[in-house]
Structure 1
């Protein structure tokens, strides 16, 4: 029963991590496409808050519950899908801090433009591009991790099975 409770928390944390993360990502993309500093400032403020208060804690719950599930199930850390998912999780996590900082910078630029009544500075597009592509990489990693959580095989093993290798 303990294992199932921890697994439930692990899945819920994954839903929060992925769901809030993707929602925030898509909302800030949509807001940025308007080019309206007032809209961007409002949405970016909420994105920064949700990522700090919900998405980041969900990531820590993932680490703790994942470790507990590994211990309770008796799986060694060297299990292919487990080790691969952990490596990808660390890589995605390494993108997380820069993404948060870039989101704060996007927010600050939008607030500055809104306060001055000026359009967004040209640097906004460059910061946005970095933020966007880091998000693409992060979510690609998260898709791979969810795939491994469900199938218990690595993406390379899945490709091999698909191709009949």
Structure 2
């Protein structure tokens, strides 16, 4: 029963991590495309809150439940698919703090512009671009992790399988 409970939490955390993360990402992209500082400031404020209070804890729950599941099943951390998913998860996670910082900067820049009635400052686009591409990399990593979890295959095994087909 412990295993099934942990697996359930692991899957729910993955849904929250992926769902809220992707939702926040897409909402901030849509808001930024308006170039309206008021819209961007409001959306970015919510995105920062959701990512801080929902997405981040989901990531922590993911790693904790994943490690507990590995332990309960007797798999080693060096099992190829486990090690691959853990390495990619840590890479994606290393993008997370900078993404939160950049989101907060985007929010602050948009808030200043909205308060003064000015256009977005010149640096907004540069910060946005950094944030956008970190998101692309992060979500690509998450897609790969989900593939690994479902198939128990490393990306290299998949490439080998596809090359042999």
TM-score bucket (shorter structure): over 0.9
Question: Any stretches of 5+ residues in structure 2 without a counterpart?
Answer: none
Q: How much has 1:159 moved relative to structure 2?
A: 1.6
User: Which portions of structure 1, spanning 4 or more consecutive aligned residues, are displaced by more than 2 angstroms?
Assistant: none
Q: How much has 1:53 moved relative to structure 2?
A: 0.4
Q: What is the SS of the residue equivalent to 1:119?
A: coil
Q: How many residues end up aligned between the 2 structures?
A: 165
Q: Which residue of 2 aligns with 1:66?
A: 66
Query: Could you tell me how far apart the structure 2 residues matched to 1:117 and 1:34 are?
Result: 15
Query: Could you tell me how far apart the structure 2 residues matched to 1:114 and 1:38 are?
Result: 5
Query: Could you tell me how far apart the structure 2 residues matched to 1:163 and 1:135 are?
Result: 29
Q: Which residue of 2 aligns with 1:104?
A: 104
Query: Could you tell me how far apart the structure 2 residues matched to 1:120 and 1:137 are?
Result: 26
- The two structures have a TM-score, normalised by structure 2, of 0.98
Query: Could you tell me how far apart the structure 1 residues matched to 2:164 and 2:78 are?
Result: 25
RMSD: 0.8
Query: Could you tell me how far apart the structure 1 residues matched to 2:128 and 2:93 are?
Result: 19
Q: Which residue of 1 aligns with 2:118?
A: 118
Query: Could you tell me how far apart the structure 2 residues matched to 1:7 and 1:148 are?
Result: 15
Q: What is the SS of the residue equivalent to 1:9?
A: helix
Q: Which residue of 2 aligns with 1:158?
A: 158
